Amino acid sequence: MYHLRQSFVQISKTNPLIVLSRSLIGNKKSDEQAAVVPTEESNGISTEEVELPTIAVDAASKERAILPYSQEALKVLKLDAYPYYVEREWWKHGNRMTFWSNWKMKKDVKRRHLLAELGPDRVRLKALKSNTILPAIIRDECAKKLHEFPKASCPNNIYHLCQFSGVRRGKLNRFHLHRQIFRHLADHGQLSVLKCADVHFLTSNLVGIPSSDVTLSAVDIVEINKYVLGLTAKAPLTWSGEENIFKRPRALAVVTVAGGRALGSFLPLGFAVSGELGSINFNDLLNEKIFGGENQEWIVMSDGLISGSQIGSDAQNTFSKIEVKVKTEPLLQEIENLYKIAETIKKSEIISTAHTPTIFIIHVNGLPIVKQKLSVEEYMQAVDELEKAINYLVLALKEVYGDRVIMELITESQSEIKDIQKRQVSESNTERIMRLRRELNVYQFSSSNYPAMFGIFLSVSVILALAVLFVVVGLLNMDPGKDSIIYRMTTTRMKKD
C-alpha cells in the first residue's frame, strides 16, 4: 500500500491535474486541500504530499453513494432537468418540442395517429371492396367510402424516422401493417359488416366484466342476462365474467338506442355485438312461471308506448316536470317516458317489497329520424337531451337499488351499408337469389331433368364397362383346341414320305 501511495505522489508531481480531477469528486474540504498541491519538483517526500491523495480518495468514496435506477435517484442527482434530461416521448400532442430535429417528425406523428384511428375501417372496407361475391352496389359503396378517407391515413405515407436525428429509414411496409390489423379484426369478429351494435354496462358492480375484445352475438346478450339474474347456470362461451351467486341483482335495465353511436361521449368501453338486433328476444326474462308464481314487475317501452305490470301502469300515469327541448316525434315522447320511468322508480313502493328482479326493457328509435329532419346543431342538442335522460334513469336506479342493479346500453350502428342490405333482404328469397345470379354472372349449369339424365348415363356406362370386362376375361381364359385357327397356325405338321 505504501508503494502505491508513493507512486501516486510521484505522478502527481509531474501532472498535478490528476489530483485536482480526483478531488473534484469529493467534498469542499478536499477541493481546498487539492488547491495547495505543490508543483515544484523535489527529491524528498513530505508527509503532507502523502496524506493529500488519501484524503481525496476517502472523501470521494464517502460522497459517491450507489443509488438504484429510479425516479428518486434521478431527482437526487438532478438528472431529470435540463440539460441532462432528454425528452424521448416526441410523439406527444402539443406544440413542437425543443428536442425534435425537424417538422417532419410532427407531421409523421399526425399520420400515425390518423392511421391508428382509421386503420381498421380502411382494412374492413378494402376487404369488402375486393370481395367479388358481394353485389356490385355494396362494393361500389365501400370503394366510395374508402376514397373519401383522408390521404394521410394511408400507410404508404408513414416513414420510419429516428426519434432524435429525424433521419428517414424507409417507408412502413403496408403489407405487414394491414396483415396485423386484418388478423386482429378477424380474430375478434369485427371484420364483416355484421357488427350491428355495441353493448355498454353502465352499472355493473355485481358483475365481473371481462375484456372488451370479446365479440358477443345477439343471442349471447339474452343468455348473459339470464345467467346474471340466476335463471340459468350456463353462461355463453364468449362470457368470462364472474358473478356472486349469493348476491344477485334486484333489477335489470336494458336500453336499446338506434343510431346511438353519437352517445359515445359518456360511455365506458363496450362489447361489439354481431348479428341482427331484431333477433334479441327478452320474453324469457319476463316469464312469471320461473319465479314460482310470484308477481314479477316489469316495464317495456317500445314505439313511445309504456306497457308492463303494476309499475308500468304507474309510469303511464306519472307526470314529469322536467322540460325536454326536443320537439320532434317520436324522440320527444321517448325521452319523456324515460323521465316518467325514473320518477316511478323513485316513488314506487312495490319495488322495495318485490322479491323478484324487476325488468326494464326500453327501446329508443327516434334518433335517426331527428338526424334526417333537423340540422346538425339541433341533432346534437337532441343527443344531449337523450344523454341527460339516460343519466337521470341511471341515478334513479342507483338511488333505489344501490349496487344491486345492472343497466345495459345497446347502441345500434346505422350505417349506409347495413341499410342497403336491409333493402335487399326485403324482397323474396327466390327473387333475390335469381337477381344475384344475374348480377354476379353465375351460370346455372343444371336443368330440371338433370337427375334422370344422370341416372341413365350412369347405368349405361356401368353396363358397358361390365360387358367389356367379361369379354376380356373370357378371351384370356379360352384354351385353343384343334378346331381353332390359332391351333392350326401355331402347330407344326409332320411331313409324310
Q: Is 165 exposed, middle or buried (0-12, 13-18, 19+ CB in 10 A)?
A: exposed
User: CA-based Rg of the chain, rounded to a whole angstrom?
Assistant: 42
pLDDT tens by residue, 80-93: 776 565 544 444 55
Tally of domains in the chain: 4
Shared domain check, 454 and 371 = no
Residue 275, in any domain of the structure: yes
pLDDT at res. 332:
87
Give me 17's grid cell.
491535474
- Which positions ≥6 away from 103 have C-beta within 8 Å? 96
**Residue 78 within a domain:** no
Q: Any bridge partners for residue 308, and if so which?
A: 299
User: To the nearest 10°, the Cα dihedral for 358, 216, 289, 229?
Assistant: -50
Q: Give pLDDT tens digits along the chain (497 positions).
A: 444 444 444 444 444 434 333 333 344 444 444 444 444 444 444 444 444 455 544 554 556 677 777 878 878 887 777 656 554 444 455 444 445 566 677 777 778 778 888 888 888 888 888 888 888 888 888 889 888 888 888 877 777 666 566 676 665 555 556 666 666 666 555 555 445 677 777 766 666 666 656 677 777 778 888 887 777 767 766 666 666 666 778 888 888 888 766 676 566 667 777 666 665 667 667 664 455 555 678 888 888 888 888 888 888 888 777 878 887 888 888 888 899 898 888 888 777 777 778 888 888 888 888 888 888 888 888 888 888 888 888 888 888 888 888 888 888 765 543 444 444 445 566 677 777 777 776 665 566 677 888 899 999 999 999 999 999 998 888 766 666 676 667 766 666 65
Distance CA 281, CA 98 (A): 59
Q: What is the pLDDT of residue 497?
A: 55
The reply to whether 204 and 183 lie within a common domain is no
Closest by CA position to 222, among listed 286, 270, 167: 286
pTM to 2 decimal places: 0.46
DSSP at 65 = -
Query: Are residue 338 and residue 284 in the same domain, yes or no?
Result: yes
The reply to whether 435 falls in a domain is: no
Here the contacts of 480-486 (C-beta below 8 Å, separation 24 or greater) are none
- Pair (398, 283) in one structural domain: yes
My answer on whether omega of the bond before 83 falls inside 30° of 0, hence cis, is yes
Q: Residue 322: what residue type? A: I
Name the phi and psi angles at 362, rounded to 5.
-125, 130
- DSSP assigned state of 46: -
Same domain, 187 and 200: no
**Is there a single domain that holds both residue 174 and residue 151?**
no
User: Does residue 497 belong to any structural domain of this protein?
Assistant: no
129-137 CB contacts, 8 Å cutoff, 24+ apart? 132/440, 133/440, 135/424, 135/436, 135/439, 135/440, 136/439, 137/420
Residue recorded with cell 323521465: 339
- Whether cis (ω within 30° of 0) applies to the bond prior to 451 is no
Which three-class secondary structure string do you get for 351-366?
A: HHHCCCCEEEEEEECC
For residue 26, is it within any domain? no
> Would you state the pLDDT for residue 22?
39
> Which amino acid appears at position 148 of this protein?
E
258 and 356 together in one domain? yes
In a domain, 37, yes or no: no
Rounded-to-integer distance, Cα 65 and Cα 22, Å: 16
Contact 256, 364 (CB under 8 A): yes
73: CB partners within 8 A, 6+ apart: 67
Task: Determine the straight-line distance between the first and last CA of the chain, rounded to whole angstroms.
Answer: 139
Residues 6+ apart with CB under 8 A from 378: 370
Nearest Cα residue to 310 out of 353, 339, 364: 353
Helix (H, G, I), strand (E, B) or coil at 195: strand
**pLDDT tens string 443-489:** 655 666 778 888 999 999 999 999 999 999 988 887 666 666 766 67
In this structure, are 137 and 254 located in the same domain?
Answer: no
- The CA-CA-CA angle for residues 254, 255, 257, to 5°, reads 145
Whether residues 143 and 260 share a domain: the answer is no
Set of cell numbers at residue 298: 316489469
Residue 281 inside a domain? The answer is: yes
- One-letter amino acid identity for 172? L
User: Are residues 248 and 153 part of one domain?
Assistant: no
Clarify whether residues 225 and 315 are in a common domain: yes
For residue 419, which phi and psi values (nearest 5 degrees)?
-65, -40
* Sign of torsion over alpha carbons 459, 462, 465, 466: negative
Residue 18 lies in a domain: no
What domain range is 342 assigned to? 194-412
Determine the residue type at 111: R
In this structure, the answer to whether residues 179 and 200 fall within a common structural domain is: no
Contact 25, 53 (CB under 8 A): no
